[in-house]
Chains A and B, each alone.
Chain A
């Protein structure tokens, strides 16, 4: 799966791109070239969606 972190000895780098300052309109209009950072990020998110959200439930607090 495309998502391994790169350890450059000082930084852990993700394939997820920071689009937090972009508008949805701008982002939707942007194409993802095959080997671009955007394409890698989208592929990672698509892979994540094959997992069913995996709610983590627990914490039986007996106190």
Chain B
């Protein structure tokens, strides 16, 4: 029997987000093989010669058989049955599921087909299969015609954008994506989506706002499918219980989760890079979408680079430890190199610091949320009038579940990008009349977005003195980190907070304390 293989050139191109059609075909064959092998195990465990459904499908011809065997829902079905045990009649807690047959594409299933400039995308809008909940999010009930029409319109617009400006990505998307499972939105989130390693080519997604959101969302999720397919063939990460920072989540993540984020956001970064270039050539009518595209491009290229450097052990503060296999190291290096090539490309001088600030804001809030440190020795040194000692190591708190990014400051940044503000800009330039930075509600953010870091620092410091809610405390600390010149605030905010809290905050000059901690 032939085993699957990829040339190093094909493997690195896949990691760079540019797999060839031949590579995609190989990954699809691997997924079909996986389903066949899993079904084999089910048959051998149950003693059945073949499933009842198989004969029915086979009567429709070999292509029909291949279609059902390749379907992502068949992958979900096979994996679920095998995990539940060898008894095909066992109940794994989901009523109404016929364990004896994968659900075929029944009459009435919605298949959306969109075509633009000679390229067609066909996806099944799956709102009925009982197994669709296994993609990890709460599926919606049967879509109304109005809801289905919204999906149809967004998909048409998304496809037009992808084919006209991102054609290579559109070609790849069409070879991978086959099923969209509409899901309930997550409260507080702009949109949510998910994939499962058991369902190559299926995406669970909440209703998109528009074609742009759907386009970038589908590219993002397709990357997850591709990485899962790579993982089917090769181990990329060594087993490890350790959790670390992911620029796309507020909770600690395992190394493979970080890699998933980096690979998905490589595609997102590429999308916004192309959109930014398009709006530059399109002229002043696209100034707002151009700022947004440049912000997203600048933000995610830096985030992908940081995450891949961490995985490769290249970060300055990396604590060491090889988390990648040889295949994983090769993959991540090629992923990283693709994005590193974009790092020197210019971004609007008003937008670049906002993107850098957003990444700093997220990283600091993550550390404040998830890391704990014992400040005892540092507090003792301060009280004794000694120099600041070396910063003690922090430990990761156990994760309490999935946490997506939620930041009021980021919301204000998005508002500013969508509508230029009054007064002085982030870099000191004048702005046109429009939205006031920060909306007039958050004084620190007002000053930060207006380019006055000194006033912003004082405003955030005053928030700490008032004794606000936990969320406002975190926001104030991260705001201090974004605007302060001291590295310790960006790199060890959890230490600064812990020491400050021990020293009775009202009695300590915060700026003096930060300078002292920053001195070693």
Bound-complex Cα distance A59 to B137 (A): 13
Q: Which residues of B contact A25 (CB under 8 A)?
A: 49-50, 54
B310: CB under 8 A from chain A?
no
A59 touching B220 in the complex, CB below 8 Å, given contacts A5-B233, A11-B5, A17-B3: yes
A37 touching B34 in the complex, CB below 8 Å, given contacts A18-B29, A28-B43: no
- How many whole Å from A17's CB to the nearest CB in chain B? 4
Within 8 Å by CB of A60, from B1, B40, B190, lies B190
Q: Which residues of A contact B260 (CB under 8 A)?
A: 56
Within 8 Å by CB of B83, from A1, A49, A55, lies A49
Interface string of B121-139 (1 = CB under 8 A from A): 0000000000000111100
Query: Is there an interface contact between A54 and B5, defined as CB atoms closer than 8 Å?
Result: no
- How many whole Å from A14's CB to the nearest CB in chain B? 4
Q: Which residues of A contact B208 (CB under 8 A)?
A: 61
In the complex, which of the residues B197, B208, B216 has the most CB atoms of chain A within 10 Å of its own CB atom? B197
- How many whole Å from B219's CB to the nearest CB in chain A? 10
Query: Is there an interface contact between A48 and B232, defined as CB atoms closer than 8 Å?
Result: yes
Q: Which residues of B contact A49 (CB under 8 A)?
A: 79, 82-83
A18 touching B2 in the complex, CB below 8 Å, given contacts A24-B40, A24-B50: yes
Q: Which of B403-411, B438-446, B469-477 contacts A (4 or more CB under 8 A)?
A: B403-411
Query: Is there an interface contact between B194 and A57, defined as CB atoms closer than 8 Å?
Result: yes
Interface string of A2-32 (1 = CB under 8 A from B): 0111010111111111111011110110000
Q: Which of B6-14, B314-322, B349-357, B380-388 contacts A (4 or more CB under 8 A)?
A: B6-14
Bound-complex Cα distance A11 to B23 (A): 13
Q: Which residues of A contact B213 (CB under 8 A)?
A: 61, 63
Within 8 Å by CB of B197, from A5, A15, A54, lies A54
The total of chain B residues at the interface (CB under 8 A) is 82
Query: Is there an interface contact between A59 and B32, defined as CB atoms closer than 8 Å?
Result: no
Query: Is there an interface contact between B30 and A18, defined as CB atoms closer than 8 Å?
Result: yes
Q: Which residues of A contact B220 (CB under 8 A)?
A: 59
Q: Which residues of A contact B6 (CB under 8 A)?
A: 11-12
Q: Which residues of B contact A13 (CB under 8 A)?
A: 3-5
Query: Is there an interface contact between B234 and A27, defined as CB atoms closer than 8 Å?
Result: no
- How many whole Å from A63's CB to the nearest CB in chain B? 6
- How many whole Å from A42's CB to the nearest CB in chain B? 6
Query: Is there an interface contact between A16 and B232, defined as CB atoms closer than 8 Å?
Result: yes
B119: CB under 8 A from chain A?
no
Residue of A nearest to B228 (CB): A56
Query: Is there an interface contact between B195 and A14, defined as CB atoms closer than 8 Å?
Result: no
B196: CB under 8 A from chain A?
yes
- How many whole Å from A38's CB to the nearest CB in chain B? 6
B519: CB under 8 A from chain A?
no
Q: Which residues of A contact B2 (CB under 8 A)?
A: 17-18
Residue of B nearest to A41 (CB): B37
Query: Is there an interface contact between A19 and B1, defined as CB atoms closer than 8 Å?
Result: yes
Query: Is there an interface contact between B8 and A10, defined as CB atoms closer than 8 Å?
Result: yes
A34: CB under 8 A from chain B?
no
Within 8 Å by CB of B41, from A12, A19, A42, A52, lies A42
Query: Is there an interface contact between B233 and A63, defined as CB atoms closer than 8 Å?
Result: no
- How many whole Å from B285's CB to the nearest CB in chain A? 19
B372: CB under 8 A from chain A?
no
B292: CB under 8 A from chain A?
yes
Q: Which residues of B contact A22 (CB under 8 A)?
A: 36
Residue of A nearest to B69 (CB): A24
Query: Is there an interface contact between B1 and A18, defined as CB atoms closer than 8 Å?
Result: yes
Q: Which residues of A contact B204 (CB under 8 A)?
A: 55, 57
Residue of B nearest to A18 (CB): B2
- How many whole Å from B357's CB to the nearest CB in chain A? 15
- How many whole Å from A36's CB to the nearest CB in chain B? 8
Interface string of B77-98 (1 = CB under 8 A from A): 0010011000000000000000
- How many whole Å from A48's CB to the nearest CB in chain B? 7
B33: CB under 8 A from chain A?
yes
- How many whole Å from A22's CB to the nearest CB in chain B? 7
Q: Which residues of B contact A20 (CB under 8 A)?
A: 29-30, 32-33, 36
Q: Which of B492-518 contact A (CB under 8 A)?
A: none
- Can you report 15 residue pairs joining A to B where beta carbons are below 8 Å apart? A3-B234, A5-B326, A14-B233, A17-B3, A18-B4, A19-B37, A24-B39, A24-B50, A28-B50, A37-B1, A48-B232, A53-B136, A53-B196, A55-B196, A60-B405
Lowest 10 A-B CB distances belong to which pairs? A55-B136, A57-B194, A14-B233, A5-B327, A5-B234, A60-B404, A61-B191, A20-B29, A17-B1, A62-B190
Q: 15 other contacts beyond A14-B233, A36-B1, with CB at 8 A cut-off?
A: A7-B327, A17-B3, A17-B33, A24-B36, A28-B39, A37-B1, A45-B37, A49-B82, A56-B196, A56-B228, A56-B257, A59-B191, A59-B220, A61-B191, A61-B209
